Amino acid sequence: MIKIYDGCKTEEILNRKINSYEREEAAVKAILSDVAARGDTAVLEYGKKFDGADIAALQVSEQEFAEAESKLTPEYKQTILNAKANIELFHARQLKSGFEIKKPGGVILGQKYTPIDTAGVYVPGGTASYPSTVLMDIIPAKIAGVKNIIMVTPVKADGKVKPEILFAAKTAGADMVFKTGGAQAIAALAYGTQTIPKADKIVGPGNIYVQLAKKQVYGLASVDMIAGPSEILVIADGTANPEYVAADLLSQAEHDVLASAVLVTDSRRLAIDVQKEIERALPLMEREQVARKSIDLNGKIIICESIEKAVEISNEIAPEHLEICVDNPFDYLDKIQNAGSIFLGKYTPEALGDYYAGPNHTLPTGGSARFSSPLSVDDFVKKSSYIYYTEDELKKAAKDVMSFASSEGLGGHARSVGVRVNKA
């Protein structure tokens, strides 16, 4: 049963203990090294070992894409297209253009944006599969102008990818899809294999082995984030519907036994009613065992003196998903400093953001919303500055530049300016 607290230390609210993963890290390191050395052969062997999948070819064929689409209803395909349109609309607004400053004397300073060449997208396929993640991770890369979008996803023992995943990949614009998951898939993207191209950046959620692999390959490739268990924090007052609030808490609890679902409220009556509603709703869930364990381990209801105090608590926690279930949610929007994604009002469940509304659902977890942001078009572009000086302008700046260089003991720097301005 979810526990009710009259106030609570922030560090006790979410499951954010620093765990030791020495055994898992060692296993991941060995897999990375093996894939780097043996490429496709190692990837295929690990697929057979961990997923029971004995497949002949890693890359999904055009025939497999066609077969997948044929298994889906027109209604479902339209759902994917509708979600794609919403995600594109939102992310297209994130595109940035560079700038250029022209100073007197002919000096030109500027900044330009360039898309990365190859993005690697990891899509989970373990306890659940997520066509929504396909859309969320590929569409921003496509909008950014990435030339090569490579998707990897694990398969079941039959060696097939779920039709929904393949249709979403084709719809979003993946250039190639490969049937591999786990640490071996991250290794393949980081090092490249005989079949799988090397990626400049690797994005997407996954289990602890996937996250540790992303952590270990950082530097060979960039990564979006090291994602932890999913989180939701709901701020609600006494006017909130306890059935709605309980449903939203459970929607995150069903992800994973380590997921955290927290309600912060100024109403004891709401707290008690939500607690009762959760117990009523749990037996009706398809993933009851997962959700119940999550609620028992990490679920909390915090009673505080006001919604303003609830906002303070939320900012300390910096949750992945934040719902503000009050009649006047926009009154609090500017007061929210730390949150991955914010859901305003009583008719904006977190599930809207997961699938359909448009903003990205790949979000910072574990309090990292204090310093990081949701996946976006920005993740798939690089910024380069550029500088142009005329001979006359270099002469004007030379004394200052050479003074800086000399003060740092870098005579070579000073000389690179001096040889240009002290010509006979």
With beta carbons less than 8 A apart as the criterion, state whether 225 and 364 touch.
yes
Distance CA 418, CA 100 (A): 27
Angle subtended by helix axes 131-144 and 163-172, to nearest 10: 10
Distance in angstroms between the alpha carbons of the first and the last residue of the chain: 85
Q: Tell the burial category of 287 from Cβ atoms under 10 Å away from its Cβ (0-12, 13-18, 19+).
A: middle
DSSP string across 82-115 = HHHHHHHHHHHTT----EEEE-TTS-EEEEEEEE
Distance CA 70, CA 309 (A): 53
Q: Tell the burial category of 130 from Cβ atoms under 10 Å away from its Cβ (0-12, 13-18, 19+).
A: buried
Which three-class secondary structure state does DSSP give residue 55? coil
Q: Which residue is catalytic, options 64, 164, 320, 323?
A: 320
The neighbour count for residue 255, using CB atoms within 10 Å, is: 22
Q: Which residue is catalytic, options 321, 323, 350, 361?
A: 321
The overall longest dimension of the chain from CA atoms, in Å, is: 90
Distance CA 146, CA 334 (A): 34
Q: Is 413 a catalytic residue?
A: no
With beta carbons less than 8 A apart as the criterion, state whether 136 and 361 touch.
yes
Catalytic residues: 320-321
